[in-house]
Structure 1
Amino acid sequence: MPLPAPPRPTIPARPRARWVVGLFFGLLGMLGVALHRDYGVGWDEQLDRLNGIINAKYVALKLAPELARRQPTFAEIPDMSENQDVDHGVFFQLPLVVLEKVIGAEDSRDVYFLRHLTIWLTCVAGTYALYRLAARYLGSWRWGLVVAAALVLSPRLFAESFYNYKDLVFLGFFTFGVGTLTRWLRRPTWPNAALHALAVGAAIDVRTMGVLLIGLTVGFAGLEGWFRVEVRRRLGLTLALFFGLTWAVVVAGWPYLWENPVGNFLSAFLSFSRYRAHMLTVYFGQEISVQRLPWHYALVWLLITTPLPYSVLFATGVGAVIRQALRQPRAWLASATGRTDLLLLAWFFGPLAAIVLLHSVIYDGWRHLYFIYPAFLLLAARGLLVAGRYVRNTSRLGVRRLGYVGAGLLLVGVGHTALRMILDHPYQNMYYSFLPGSMAGRLFERDYWGLSGREGVEWILRQDSGATVPVATEAVTSLMLHNAQLLLPPAERARLRMVPVAQARYFLTTYRWHPEAYSDSIGRLVYCRRVNGITILSVYRRPGR
């Protein structure tokens, strides 16, 4: 059947609609307030914060050098030339450092709780951007809420919305950029072009992968001008403003670029092709270099960590869109709906294809591609819309019954996902959609963020009342243990001693880069944490200690 074109968008105008949408996002904000203290400090959080601090020092020296030098910690902060993360923009990290000072957060416990709440609220704003985009695309504020709810009910992304400063924040910024793009394409006015430039510049300053938005902008501006002659001239003029303002935002929001904008930007952009080149990852039970990942790595990770009903609906939506495109390609592209369909296909499949063709380095699952997930959900909602209309309009009793069975399975699947999120809290990052836990634990990475280290350290300190408690882990994952103690109360933190294995009373592991079991010589197992059958944390009492 032909793919139904959605009606004109109905972003809430009635009081009831506004009330429902406001309640939904208000509850999301409150949920973050209730849960943000439950998560540990992720692998990169200290490094991300240090990047923000170094940039804050650099900005302060440029704007108020005498005041900056009078700060107590000034001499302890590395200079920009010593910053190992200059290729990471600080559009999000720099304001977080300023917020810490404004709030007066000094102890590491207060600092990271504040940061976790802030990233959650930022992700809620990104979810709202997706809601707006979905409501316009699918023609209903109700459908917009369905897509927003699907994002919230995506277990891994839910958990990472508290501590993944790069990928989840970038997802929201990229989604906002696509939203401003569709707005500008519909009405290519100067204000819309300026808003889109601000969105794209900010996205690039969060992750340089935001340059993909420039490619989408140029490509779909050309397509829009081809089919809408009346706006062709205005598109060209406002596109010139977009380029200039975008570059100004990128440079202004990324202090590393100030002294050499073009050269430093190119250096930062090219650095990602060799980033983490030495790292190993577990994939189908084998430790392999991130330089030699098979082409299907990201696709497999996306499939096994995304709720199965979403994947089925995504395939349905893509199939329906492609069928319509093949039946009447010109008419499909001539319609605003068809061009938006193509935009979503490019948003999702373009980065995946680039990863495969360019052999780009990715690791820790598909987190570097999280920003394509909103397109995945929008196309999945398109599939649900098409399937629902087909079942309602058909006169074939067998098809209707099959549709009701499918609807029931969908509800059961979503309900099971929600239940898993509750039972696995705060380790929703260990969610695998259809693989048994024992199999997933053997074949793929476990707690690669190292979050469970916090639980291990807290358990040890509750059981051991010693004035000092010596704890060790593998040398390669010592940062995990250091991160784990950052959320301890100061008195408990003072009791913890991080020592070599030979001097330790306890040995703690989260199995990062050590997926196999430990020998008896390491000690006696006294505590472990399993999530849906996957062991992510073990604590051993050292012999003779």
Structure 2
Amino acid sequence: MPVTPTLSHRWPVGAFFGLLALLGVALYQDYGVGWDEQVDRLNGIINAKYVAMKLAPEIARRQPSFAEIPDLHGSQDTDHGVLYQLPLVLLEKVARVEDTRDVYFLRHLTIWLTCVAGTWVVYRLGAWRFGSWQWGLVVAGLLVLSPRLFAESFYNYKDPVFMGFFALAIYTMLGWLRQPTWQRATLHALACAAAIDNRTMGVLLVPMTISFAGLELMFRRNEWQRFIGSFALYLPLTAVGVVLAWPYLWENPVENFVEAFQSFSRYRSDMLTHYLGQDVSVQALPWHYAPIWIFVTTPLLYSGLFAVGIGVVVRAALRPLHWLASPMGRADLLLLAWFIGPVLAVIVFHSVLYDGWRHLYFIYPAFLLLAVRGLQALWQAWHHLHSAPLKKTTGWVGTVVLGVCLAHTVVRMALDHPYQNVYFSIPPVATTGMLFERDYWALSGRRGLEWILAHDTASTVPIGTDARTRLALHNALLLLSPPQRARVRMVPPNQALYFLGTYRWHPEAYPNSYGPAVFEQRVNGLPILSIFRLR
């Protein structure tokens, strides 16, 4: 049921999100530049040039920098919407930041604040589903205390941001299903368009909306006119919104969207990923790739509660008519569809995934909502115990288990900072981490360069790395100060004085010919970066 804001909970909720924003302000400069950040930024700049040439061609032609910017047509990233990237480009201009260090720090802070807004949406979903702002904060708290998502909320422009937009569309869908007015249909259409313009996977929202509107009509037949009338507005508004906010679609909306969708669903590369100790082509992933990655990177407490939540929902679903007759039952079905549907689609259609399960982060709020469904069921079962000694004992045991598990997650996040992106939940981490890709965002390169420059006083320092991770070294340069960048000379390994060894495609130890590492960056005992002085 919806929760009406009151003064009694505005303060704790406001304090939670205020402290969350301040936490990001304190930490945003600690993270490196992720693998895709330069490409994503360039995509935004290319689209900004295209929009300028379309809307103000005379002014655009007088911009000297435009000559160096590639044209939109022919760009390899036209299958990525730019609803988020375009405003970031404009923000750079407004803030007048030019040095790469300032540019990426600004972008990292902006991403974090965007993800805080997405966390607020997840809080609202939890508060609505469980009828309590306290339970809503529990859901939001578990999202914040998800180590990998926490780290990526500073530098991953795609997946955590898309997760927030997808959650917003689910929230507006629930609002429209409760009250099918044209105003709510408009809000939902805009939210769906925004999600699609972040990632084309957002098109899943359209069949979900249609399916659950049909389900509502089965139990609210007297409202069919309101549903049909507002739904007739939803589809065209969604389509218009998608086209308006995606410049690549302007010239040929249908054909270009189909092309972008096919390009997204048929990944061009035959890249290898390290999975369960083997190098596997991303074009031939085993069916269990996504479920295993979700399990080994999510705190075990959350997975256990999720299993309980699934059990509670399945038990209720054994009486389907009674279950679906309740609005909360239909809400639980929506959560199941939100989480299980995309995972099954990936398995059935052999979709390409890489870098763990980040392409499926948008299902994680549903995972957490089902986990809290399990926690709430345990709480209610405990509350109805009649035996006072049993109630006291189980209460203490449950409190200790929850407290220890949450404290362990908090401590690990603090100790692993700023490499929470290498979090694994299955001990021993040093063994588990050998079976999977580690720092696939290549954030540790920044720490490596800073260490070298702090321990070598030469005016120029030749540094090399593997050919496949050369981009990681270049990304690491972007956050150095200009005097530091001037000292670094990127060279092939055979000309380098220092060699940066990373472990994305190199799970084993580096050969003895490199000599002993002069520095290693480890996360919970797992090496993610080794520096060798070659001569």
How does the TM-score come out when normalised to structure 2?
Answer: 0.98
Distance apart, 1:204 and its partner CA? 0.2
1:357 to 342, 348, 351: 348
Instruction: State yes or no: 1:346 paired with 2:337.
Output: yes
Distance apart, 1:94 and its partner CA? 0.6
> Which residue in 2 is equivalent to 1:164?
156
Q: Hey, what's the Cα distance between the residues in 1 that align with 2:384 and 2:228?
A: 43
Give 3-state SS (helix, strand or coil) of 1:487's partner.
coil
Is contact 2:517–2:530 with CA below 8 Å preserved after alignment? Answer: yes
Instruction: State yes or no: 1:242 paired with 2:253.
Output: no
**CA displacement 1:181-209 (0-9 Å, x = unmatched):** 00000000011000000000000000000
Instruction: State yes or no: 1:9 paired with 2:2.
Output: yes
Distance apart, 1:518 and its partner CA? 1.4
Instruction: State yes or no: 1:387 paired with 2:368.
Output: no
The runs of at least 4 aligned residues of structure 1 exceeding 4 Å deviation read 396-400
Q: Hey, what's the Cα distance between the residues in 1 that align with 2:301 and 2:494?
A: 49
> Which residue in 1 is equivalent to 2:212?
220
2:119 to 120, 124, 127: 127
Q: Hey, what's the Cα distance between the residues in 1 that align with 2:4 and 2:426?
A: 35
Give 3-state SS (helix, strand or coil) of 1:206's partner.
coil
> Which residue in 1 is equivalent to 2:517?
525
> Which residue in 1 is equivalent to 2:324?
333
Give 3-state SS (helix, strand or coil) of 1:537's partner.
strand
2:58 to 59, 66, 73: 66
Distance apart, 1:17 and its partner CA? 0.7
Is contact 1:304–1:435 with CA below 8 Å preserved after alignment? Answer: no
Q: Hey, what's the Cα distance between the residues in 1 that align with 2:365 and 2:270?
A: 31
Give 3-state SS (helix, strand or coil) of 1:432's partner.
coil
Q: Aligned ranges for residues 389-468 of structure 1 at < 5 Å? A: 389-396=380-387, 397-398=389-390, 401-468=393-460
Q: Hey, what's the Cα distance between the residues in 2 that align with 1:143 and 1:43?
A: 36
Distance apart, 1:404 and its partner CA? 3.4
Distance apart, 1:494 and its partner CA? 0.9
Q: Hey, what's the Cα distance between the residues in 2 that align with 1:436 and 1:276?
A: 35
Q: Aligned ranges for residues 139-150 of structure 1 at < 5 Å? A: 139-150=131-142
Instruction: State yes or no: 1:55 paired with 2:86.
Output: no
Is contact 1:11–1:141 with CA below 8 Å preserved after alignment? Answer: no
Is contact 1:525–1:538 with CA below 8 Å preserved after alignment? Answer: yes
Distance apart, 1:400 and its partner CA? 5.8
Instruction: State yes or no: 1:300 paired with 2:292.
Output: yes
Instruction: State yes or no: 1:318 paired with 2:334.
Output: no
Distance apart, 1:523 and its partner CA? 4.3
Q: Hey, what's the Cα distance between the residues in 1 that align with 2:4 and 2:512?
A: 62
Deviates more, 1:521-530 or 1:357-366: 521-530
Distance apart, 1:210 and its partner CA? 0.3
Q: Hey, what's the Cα distance between the residues in 1 that align with 2:4 and 2:534?
A: 61
Distance apart, 1:435 and its partner CA? 2.6
Q: Hey, what's the Cα distance between the residues in 1 that align with 2:390 and 2:271?
A: 53
Q: Hey, what's the Cα distance between the residues in 2 that align with 1:403 and 1:296?
A: 36
Distance apart, 1:441 and its partner CA? 2.4
Q: Aligned ranges for residues 5-44 of structure 1 at < 5 Å? A: 8-13=1-6, 15-44=7-36
1:251 to 243, 249, 267: 243
Give 3-state SS (helix, strand or coil) of 2:156's partner.
coil
Distance apart, 1:276 and its partner CA? 4.7
Instruction: State yes or no: 1:274 paired with 2:274.
Output: no
Give 3-state SS (helix, strand or coil) of 2:64's partner.
coil
Q: Hey, what's the Cα distance between the residues in 1 that align with 2:234 and 2:443?
A: 41
Deviates more, 1:99-108 or 1:390-399: 390-399
2:73 to 66, 81, 93: 81
Give 3-state SS (helix, strand or coil) of 2:478's partner.
helix
Distance apart, 1:263 and its partner CA? 0.5
Is contact 1:272–1:361 with CA below 8 Å preserved after alignment? Answer: no
Q: Hey, what's the Cα distance between the residues in 1 that align with 2:117 and 2:223?
A: 31
Instruction: State yes or no: 1:501 paired with 2:493.
Output: yes
Q: Hey, what's the Cα distance between the residues in 2 that align with 1:438 and 1:332?
A: 45
After superposition, the Cα gap between the structure-2 partners of 1:433 and 1:276, relative to the gap in structure 1 and judged at 3 Å, is: farther
> Which residue in 1 is equivalent to 2:278?
286
Q: Hey, what's the Cα distance between the residues in 2 that align with 1:40 and 1:196?
A: 35
Q: Which amino acid aligns with 1:197?
A: A
Q: Which amino acid aligns with 1:366?
A: W
Is contact 2:88–2:107 with CA below 8 Å preserved after alignment? Answer: yes
**CA displacement 1:271-293 (0-9 Å, x = unmatched):** 12321531111111111111111
Distance apart, 1:246 and its partner CA? 0.4
Distance apart, 1:516 and its partner CA? 1.6
**CA displacement 1:300-348 (0-9 Å, x = unmatched):** 110111111111111111111110110x211110110010010000000
Q: Hey, what's the Cα distance between the residues in 1 that align with 2:84 and 2:501?
A: 31
Is contact 2:200–2:264 with CA below 8 Å preserved after alignment? Answer: no
Is contact 1:440–1:534 with CA below 8 Å preserved after alignment? Answer: no
Q: Hey, what's the Cα distance between the residues in 2 that align with 1:509 and 1:259?
A: 46
Q: Which amino acid aligns with 2:185?
A: A
Is contact 1:277–1:361 with CA below 8 Å preserved after alignment? Answer: no
Distance apart, 1:524 and its partner CA? 4.0
Q: Which runs of 5+ in 2 are unaligned?
A: none
CA RMSD, 1 decimal: 1.1
**CA displacement 1:30-82 (0-9 Å, x = unmatched):** 11110000000000000000000000000000011121122231111000123
Distance apart, 1:267 and its partner CA? 0.7
Q: Hey, what's the Cα distance between the residues in 1 that align with 2:293 and 2:447?
A: 26
